[in-house]
Amino acid sequence: MQRIFLALAVCGAMISHAGQALAGKDLDAVKARGTLICGVAVGGIAGFMVVDSQGKWTGMNVDICRAVSAAIFGDSEKVKYVPLSGQQRFTALQSGEVDLLSNNSTWTLTRDTALGLDFVGITYYDGQGFMVNKKLGVKSAKELNGASICVLSGSTSELNIADYFRSNKMSFRPVLFEDPDQSRAAFFGGRCDAYSGDQARLYATRAANAPNPEDYVVLPEIISKEPLGPVVRHGDNQFADIVRWAQYAMLEAEEYGITSKNVDEMLKSENPSIKRILGVTPGMGKALGVDEKWVYTIVKQVGNYGESFDRNVGKDSPLKVERGQNELWTKGGLQYAPPIR
């Protein structure tokens, strides 16, 4: 009988907390400061995180930071961006220098378990490849035996190259850089036979940094899985939930056809899912610990996932990257958000 009463008490406690997010120290610090501090990549990556001459950051990764700010503050611009190298980024997050990393960090088991960090979603499905100058005459990565390869130190790319060459019984000479700008300059200056990194980085580098983009080719081989997404410190579940669901909200909005242009009209929709997503039917904001119109604010100020993709790296950008694996699951891609309900 005592066990039954104990079980009932536990259930009662769970029910009393249902629909109400619990406060966390990281979220409390962000709110008290009035600004979200977001770690991005030193030197930037075209389409993902770049800063203009006025100091304004734009890109897909930047849009994740803006979406989180919109959910917490109702304002997507309350973000401070801190450029970090591959070597610095996880230490900076662990130490509290930044609240969130949104800088094309690859989700791996060791990073997820050994660093005291949490990966909370996949913004972009990618894979590592190689870029070479056409005059090298190389058509395949299998022809790079003995090549010198520019790569960022402290990245999964460095480890993947070693695995790839070892498994194919080839040798190579790594040319390591901590600063992406130095790595790119070395490659385009002829110090390396090839430049390696996530394919998104390769296409962005070719479009934004090559003296003549037509002189360079990205080889067909993809040698790794690179699920890229935002990272937070372990321990504040509410803050992690907000970051996670801010991204899911952008995906859900695209799936339901909610855009920055029609979101006001969509408030009149009779679709129960849309009413729940946009806060017309209350409850989801309370469950997350934010305003009920959090998704409305994200979409209105930042856009849905497809709008962010097209604007920054897709058809409306200089990169013209195909959606591919990053298409919605309803259109044959991998992007799939749990339901907001």
The CA-CA-CA angle for residues 229, 194, 191, to 5°, reads 115
SS3 of 162-216: HHHHHHCCCCEEEEEECCHHHHHHHHHCCCCCEEEEEHHHHHHHHHHHCCCHHHE
Report residue 4 as tokens.
Answer: 């039954």
Which residues on neighbouring strands pair with residue 216, listed in sequence order?
Answer: 133
- Which pLDDT score, from 0 to 100, does residue 17 have? 46
Q: How far apart are CA 147 and CA 202, in angstroms?
A: 18
Beta-carbon contacts of residue 302 (< 8 Å; ≥ 6 apart) = 63, 66, 67, 70, 76, 250, 260, 308
Q: Going residue by residue through the chain, which has 341 residues, state the pLDDT in tens, using 9 for 90 and above.
A: 444 444 444 444 443 444 455 568 999 999 999 999 999 999 888 999 999 989 999 999 999 999 999 999 999 999 999 999 888 999 999 999 999 999 999 999 999 998 999 999 999 999 999 999 999 999 999 999 999 999 988 888 899 999 999 999 999 999 999 888 899 999 999 999 999 999 988 988 998 899 999 999 999 999 999 999 999 999 999 999 999 999 999 999 999 999 999 999 999 999 999 999 999 999 999 999 999 999 999 999 999 999 999 999 999 998 888 999 999 999 999 999 999 99
- Which pLDDT score, from 0 to 100, does residue 249 have? 98
Per residue in 280-314, is it b (16+ CB within 10 Å) or e — as a string?
beeebbebbbbbbbbbbbbbbbbbbbbbbbbbbbb
One fold for both 23-125+228-255+308-329 and 128-224?
Answer: yes
Q: How far apart are CA 57 and CA 82, in angstroms?
A: 10
Cα separations in angstroms, 223 against 26, 124, 128, 143, 162:
36, 16, 6, 14, 11
What are the extents of the domains in the chain? Answer: 23-125+228-255+308-329, 128-224
- Which pLDDT score, from 0 to 100, does residue 204 have? 87
- Which pLDDT score, from 0 to 100, does residue 156 have? 84
Tell whether domain 23-125+228-255+308-329 is in CATH 3.40.190.10.
Answer: yes
Q: Is 54 helix (H, G, I), strand (E, B) or coil?
A: coil
Q: How far apart are CA 271 and CA 256, in angstroms?
A: 10
- Which pLDDT score, from 0 to 100, does residue 23 have? 61
pTM of the model: 0.87
- Which pLDDT score, from 0 to 100, does residue 200 have? 84
- Which pLDDT score, from 0 to 100, does residue 229 have? 97
Which residues on neighbouring strands pair with residue 147, listed in sequence order?
Answer: 172
- Which pLDDT score, from 0 to 100, does residue 8 have? 43
Q: How far apart are CA 298 and CA 247, in angstroms?
A: 9
Q: How far apart are CA 104 and CA 59, in angstroms?
A: 11
Task: Tell me whether residue 121 is exposed, middle or buried, using C-beta atoms within 10 angstroms of its C-beta: 0 to 12, 13 to 18, 19 or more.
Answer: buried
- Which pLDDT score, from 0 to 100, does residue 155 have? 83
- Which one of 3.30.565.10, 1.10.3210.10, 3.40.190.10, 3.90.1150.10 gives the CATH number of domain 128-224? 3.40.190.10
- Which pLDDT score, from 0 to 100, does residue 2 have? 47
